[in-house]
Amino acid sequence: MKAVTVKVLKDELIHRSPKELLEICLRLSKFKKENKELLTYLLFEADNESAYIESVKREIDEGFEGINTSSYYFIKKSVRKILRNIKKFVRYSQKKQTEVELLLYFCAKLKDFSPSIKRNQMLTNLYLRQLTAIEKAIKTLHEDLQYDYNQELDVLR
């Protein structure tokens, strides 16, 4: 079965009753964990973005605490997994300010991580790519926020 475009889905959903929409949402939530996470964000956390950011930061902390530091191979795998989760949470929010805050926090944790990421080229490159991504995201924000976040970014460089 081939999936239809978003426009076709939108046109079809317009013609459905609220009860049918509820059933569709509940059925979607049963199939993938990401669908359930997105619905959770939209229903419970979208109205309080700062609390959402704090909960994601706690997950980042837990991820860094759980890293197996016996070799750089395990560190790389764990760091990539943490970053993948951050990107997923940013997609749920779709706000650049949230993206900047979470990536700044991730980079600060990675910079202070022991053993040092400077001993591994892949981790260093990942860190530098995230700094570039933060820089791009900062440019889309309001001027006052740009100044504040650029100050934080300079500390990480």
What residue has token string 């949402």? 25
Rg, the chain, Cα only: 19
> DSSP letter at 112?
T
Q: What does the pLDDT read at residue 2?
A: 87
Q: Per residue in 20-43, pLDDT tens?
A: 999 999 998 999 999 999 999 999
Instruction: Read off the pTM.
Output: 0.91
**How confident is residue 1, by pLDDT bands cut at 50, 70 and 90?**
confident
Smallest CA-to-CA distance from 133 within 62, 89, 79, 83 is with 83
Tens of pLDDT, residues 41-99 = 999 999 999 999 999 999 999 999 999 999 999 999 999 999 999 999 999 999 999 99
Model confidence at 14: pLDDT above 90:
yes
